[in-house]
Structure 1
Amino acid sequence: MGIEEGLEIGQFRGPWRITMWWPEGAVSGGPQKIVIEAEEDAPPGDVARGISTTVLRRLDLAGAVERARELAPTTPPWQAERGRLLDLARLAARLLADEGVSPRYLSVLCLTYRDLTNKGVQAPVPWLAEHLDRRSETVKDHLKKARRDGYLTSRAGRAGGELGDRATEVLATLEGVPPTAAP
């Protein structure tokens, strides 16, 4: 497949070789890339008909994820950024204590949340709640407010989002906090 630094798991279905790829680090979900190619010695007639829905239905994604988890390192990829994420969470906690749900607090909260989700942290809201010494429901409410007020964009049906213009502007005024640095 020619992808560098990552983990590949292969499966064979009839004349097709299916290669799934995960980035380097602990596996936190499904593959980020799947390539289906005809085997070199596959019968030309089978290849000419193309990839069928049967081939796709027989793809063992759950088995591939299980195997990838067995082969991948056990340290989550975000652990390398743990110190930076903890520093951001501490800053958010200080701002919340000093200013309440202010633009500066919401901006740092959104930056931390975005970076946690981009790194594949499975439960970013409970992580934030623990480090902010608040309940998960409270942090969810703060994130909802941040989305409503333009600090964080939404991802349909998924955790995460990108920093909104308001957060980027506020973060630019905070010393030592890079607003666009996504781990």
Structure 2
Amino acid sequence: MRDRETELPRLEELGVLQTIGPWQVSLRWPKGTDQGGPWYMEVRVDPTAAPEDAVGGISSTVLRQVDFRQAADAWRRLRGAPSSEVDRLRTIASAADDLSKIIRPLVNDGLTDEYLAWLATAYVTFVEAGVDSVTGHLSDVVRRQPDTIRSHLKEARNRGLLTAVKGRAGGQLTDEAKRIISVGLQGDGIGESISAVQRRMGPPV
């Protein structure tokens, strides 16, 4: 008899990642399947989460918050997208992860100019990449509600760190924001991380 594991369908390379508090949930489907829920789910602590946030470990409360319907919808969109668009979506997800490692520790210190400058950097990066729901992506990066993100972006503009584009999303970093970022890029590997983000993020397909 063959090993049972060899009889399972090969899993898709594409998958969906959800963030629930300090946990990351990865969901994947069998290759060739076009309906139904995932066959594989992995829950692990978010690398950017504080250790104290994960005290108590994974519980049924965490699992009940997994949005299987949303994950299935996202997976079907990925399967139907051209390979170039899939690559772009992966790049966006990777960029969000890099930016979160920089921004999340800063937000704990309040609305400092450094935090707002980095938030503005993430905002401009996502807008120029043509992502859907820029505020939603920033909400995941910072772990704050969308309304909070909007108020923080407004504050960044009020402090002269981010320009405004009348009537639509957009704007550019000001010279002051660039100065703050350039200081933050010195040491701790942050420069390499944000440079990698900027290299990977290209114009929308």
TM-score by length of 2: 0.49
Matched, 1:86 2:97: yes
Within 5 Å, give how 1:62-141 maps onto structure 2. Answer: 72-73=82-83, 74-75=85-86, 77-97=88-108, 99-141=109-151
* 1:157 and 2:157 correspond: no
What's the CA shift for 1:91?
Answer: 1.4
1:78–1:158 CA distance, 2 compared to 1 (3 A): farther
Q: Deviations over 1:138-166 (max 9, x none)?
A: 00000001011111111121112110122
Query: What displacement does 1:131 show?
Result: 2.4
Q: Which amino acid aligns with 1:86?
A: D
CA contact 1:78–1:116 (8 Å) conserved in 2: no
Q: How far 1:79 moved relative to its partner?
A: 2.8
Q: Which amino acid aligns with 2:174?
A: G
1:168 is paired with a residue whose SS is helix
Of all paired residues, the percent bearing the same amino acid is 27
Q: Residues of 2 paired with 1:107 and 1:164: CA distance?
A: 9
Tell me, in whole angstroms, the C-alpha distance in 2 between the residues paired with 1:142 and 1:90: 18
The offset of 1:76, in angstroms, is: 6.3
Paired with 1:147 and 1:78, the residues of 2 have a C-alpha distance of 28
- Which one has a bigger Cα radius of gyration? 1
Structure 2: 5+ residue stretches without partners: 1-79, 186-190
Q: How many residues align?
A: 112
Could you say which structure has the higher helix fraction?
A: 2
Unaligned runs of 5+ residues in structure 1 are 1-69
Map Cα deviations across residues 93-113 of structure 1 (whole Å, 9 max, x no partner): 11011x211111001100011
Q: TM-score, normalised by structure 1?
A: 0.54
